[in-house]
Amino acid sequence: MIAKAAQRMIEERESKFLIPSEIVANVQEDNHLDHAFLVLTKVKYAKIPVLDSEQHFKGLLSLAMITDTMLGLNGIDPSRLSRMKVKEVMQKDVPVITLPYNIEEIMHLLIDQPFLVVVDDEGCFTGIVTRREIMKSVNYMIHNLEKQYLVDEKIGTKADLSYNDK
Amino acid sequence: MIAKAAQRMIEERESKFLIPSEIVANVQEDNHLDHAFLVLTKVKYAKIPVLDSEQHFKGLLSLAMITDTMLGLNGIDPSRLSRMKVKEVMQKDVPVITLPYNIEEIMHLLIDQPFLVVVDDEGCFTGIVTRREIMKSVNYMIHNLEKQYLVDEKIGTKADLSYNDK
């Protein structure tokens, strides 16, 4: 359980959480790696979603997953990029979330993920929720908590802190 | 100003914030890009620090900054990697922080940075503070806030919320 006050204040910015799929760069699982190499070199995200032809979310792809196939005995070799497909190198074990948002779940998953993929009931890619937007909401919360709530140390805690000051 | 209660609780995990320089992969500004390509393909971070020969922090480097030099008229060409140096393509406008930590500053900078570079008074690289560790501290704070503090809605706010429920 997380503090109700914190949860409510983070939820106040909820409408801003989603970066919709239309403006998130993605690649298809059957794209060849040379195409994905170009996309990931030009977009700002370190990882992007991989979709199938019906917009179902299939995995995530980073440049390192592609460049790893270029390391050979004779140095850096791009020749395999035109033969290999995205689905051969992508990361498949990716947590996804669905609407409505569960703040506690989002806060927990974002410890290990730079962004969370949002899917609909059919598994189609809806958009992403980034650490960036959640960090903004946490900043909003810690800046405004004492404006909307009275926050007082509990007696026992106060005694402990003063003891630690010695 | 951020809420004192939130600040104190985030600070409780402060000793865990720093990932020390000894265990953070880095490259030298005079390294050639083929070496940096190998390092960034094998480490988990999307960006790594660039240092000079005396450990001063000089910038950040991502795989995309390297692969951008490989895009030519004839497709993907690695030949320039052995001639170009890290300092020619690295990102130089990078905020840094120094000890002691300023929680409000860290929370603000981490909106736009996946991690913060920590330097000493001479500008030498000390380590990094990641969004991951700060997300852990924020989770600790929102899970324990009501154990250590009494948090009550202020009257005006409560009235507003009940009005919105209708």
Domain boundaries, chain B: 4-165
Judged by a CB distance cut-off of 8 A, whether residue A97 touches chain B is no
Q: Which residues of B are less than 8 Å from A7 in CB distance?
A: 142
Cβ contact A139–B107 (<8 Å): yes
pLDDT confidence of residue B166: 33
Name the E strands within A86-124: 96-97, 115-119
* Token reading at B80: 């320039």
> In chain B, positions 33-62, which contact chain A (CB-CB < 8 Å)?
34, 37-38, 40-42, 46-47, 62
Cβ contact B78–A81 (<8 Å): no
Instruction: Give how far the C-alpha of residue B129 lies from the chain's centroid of Cα atoms, to the nearest Å.
Output: 6
Q: Which CATH architecture has domain B4-165?
A: Roll (3.10)
Question: Which residues make Cβ contacts (< 8 Å) with residue B22, sequence separation at least 6?
Answer: none
Q: Which element (helix H / strand E) includes B135?
A: helix B131-148
ipTM score:
0.88
Which residue has tokens 């500053």?
A: B105
CB pairs under 8 A between A and B: 144
pLDDT confidence of residue A162: 37
Secondary structure letter of residue B101 according to DSSP: P
Average pLDDT of the segment spanning B107-124? 96
pLDDT confidence of residue B156: 64
pLDDT confidence of residue A157: 55
Q: Which residues of A are less than 8 Å from B5 in CB distance?
A: 145-146, 151, 153
pLDDT confidence of residue A147: 87
Please give the mean pLDDT across all residues of chain A.
91
Comparing CB atoms, the residue among B2, B112, B132 nearest residue A112 is B132
pLDDT confidence of residue A156: 64
Give B10-42 pLDDT, tens digit per residue.
Answer: 999 999 999 999 999 999 999 999 999 999 999
pLDDT at B162 over 50: no
Q: Which of B48, B128, B114, B103 is CA-nearest to residue A113?
A: B114
CA distances to A65, B68, B114 from A112, rounded to whole Å, are: 18, 28, 12
Cβ contact A75–B34 (<8 Å): yes
Asked which of A98-112, A152-166, B117-131 is least confident by mean pLDDT, the reply is: A152-166
Closest chain B residue to A147, measured at CA:
B154
pLDDT at B46 over 50: yes
> In chain A, positions 101-120, which contact chain B (CB-CB < 8 Å)?
107-108, 110-112, 114
Q: Which residues of B are less than 8 Å from A42 in CB distance?
A: 64, 68
Instruction: Give how far the C-alpha of residue A11 lies from the chain's centroid of Cα atoms, to the nearest Å.
Output: 17
- Rounded-to-integer distance, Cα B38 and Cα A139, Å: 37
CA distances to A49, A156, A159, B122 from A163, rounded to whole Å, are: 51, 11, 6, 36
Give A11-44 pLDDT, tens digit per residue.
Answer: 999 999 999 999 999 999 999 999 999 999 999 7
CA distances to A87, A126, B37, B47 from B42, rounded to whole Å, are: 20, 31, 9, 12
* Token reading at B157: 């706010």
Give B59-108 pLDDT, tens digit per residue.
Answer: 999 999 999 999 988 889 999 999 999 999 999 999 999 999 999 999 99
Q: Which residues of B are less than 8 Å from A78 in CB distance?
A: 70, 75-78
